[in-house]
Structure 1
């Protein structure tokens, strides 16, 4: 939505009047009160205007979903609800590879998902960056609606750390890197104590586990799909 025509800055009606009027306390207080009310109305108008466009709608998403026959789920975030609405509004679009890419990226946070077609196999490979899909169920529902019934598809997840060799497929740039997985290897001890033996734990204090090699250690961190790094 382009609202450049709409007032963007905070309302101050006194700036349109001669400066010497500000010196009068009562006049200035009256002007400030009027400016505050005008600003409140400006924000209300701007908020209502936002509801006319899916990309900026918030509380108006309920009306869009009702109009399109979609379930109203206020527990879902705005981005996912907008994506579902936009995908439903494109029901007259020809299903080309570019359009499929558009549908996929409605539910991919960084817009790097894409499809690879194999016409001779009647197959689409849906390439999805790992941990970047915002709603798998919504994505599958949309693909069910738009992809012809005789075309099958499968998901392929790939890791895109952001460095490495860059490639471009159907206008979408992606990068690929090898994944290195390591671990810590340690020695261990085994002590057999006969059932009829009297012993104390202190007798084992001198025994310890020694690390004999470390390749790589790491923690698992879950980053939400729409989180900006």
Structure 2
């Protein structure tokens, strides 16, 4: 796209006879002129790059403003270019990878995952709780790029690393089952009753009769 601008560093001495370079004054002049031309070449190349989304850097904000996209300079230039291209070309260019990068621009830890659910005509977005920086902008961004016939669902996940330490005391034992007869009966056989007695106290009863005069 910018093939008409030279890529190599400018050196004017290549276009002049060699004997001129041997002169110290002329050589110094050529060096100064070459540096000036090199600065102009670099500026022209950088300016030309701004006219194409794939190479734009400083002009990305102009592209975003023109297309009505939120300007977020904290994003990588690559992600900003992808958002611009998706807006220009329409939803046909939206992929799971693109949606993942888009969603993660509003996720603090950048670890959100997007799952494709083709049977349900939807995508499901998994993210750690408390990591969404702006729910409003997140929903707006998703609705901007996702195809109209595709739905989406946000799902909070929690992933933790835990170590579980267990201890146990093993004991060996045998279980013995004893079956009893269900027709058991109780009977008392006649016998002799032995009684043992001991007198622990003896007394006599005396009756006294009297009167009062």
Q: Which range, TM-score by smaller chain? A: 0.5 to 0.7
Aligned to 2:147: 147
Aligned to 1:99: 94
- Given that 2:86 and 2:94 are in contact with CA atoms closer than 8 Å, whether structure 1 keeps it comes out as no
Per-residue deviation, 1:144: 1.2
Q: Secondary structure in 1 aligned to 2:153? A: strand
Distance in 2 between residues matched to 1:183 and 1:3, nearest whole Å: 62
Change (3 A) 1:30 1:150: closer
- Given that 2:125 and 2:152 are in contact with CA atoms closer than 8 Å, whether structure 1 keeps it comes out as no
- Given that 1:123 and 1:151 are in contact with CA atoms closer than 8 Å, whether structure 2 keeps it comes out as yes
Q: Given the two structures, how large is their TM-score scaled by the length of structure 2?
A: 0.54
Per-residue deviation, 1:49: 1.2
Change (3 A) 1:150 1:44: closer
Match of 1:76 among 52, 74, 77: 74
**Which 5+ residue runs of structure 2 have no aligned equivalent?**
166-213
Deviations 1:154-173 (A, max 9, x none): 357799xxxxxxxxxxxxxx
Q: Secondary structure in 1 aligned to 2:154? A: strand
Q: Secondary structure in 1 aligned to 2:52? A: coil
Aligned to 1:38: 37
Deviations 1:113-132 (A, max 9, x none): 6532142x44323468xxxx
Distance in 2 between residues matched to 1:9 and 1:182, nearest whole Å: 59
**Which 5+ residue runs of structure 1 have no aligned equivalent?**
160-178, 185-229
Q: Given the two structures, how large is their TM-score scaled by the length of structure 1?
A: 0.51
Superposition RMSD in Å = 4.1
Per-residue deviation, 1:136: 8.5
Per-residue deviation, 1:40: 0.8
From the CA coordinates, give the structure whose radius of gyration is larger: 2
Per-residue deviation, 1:15: 2.1
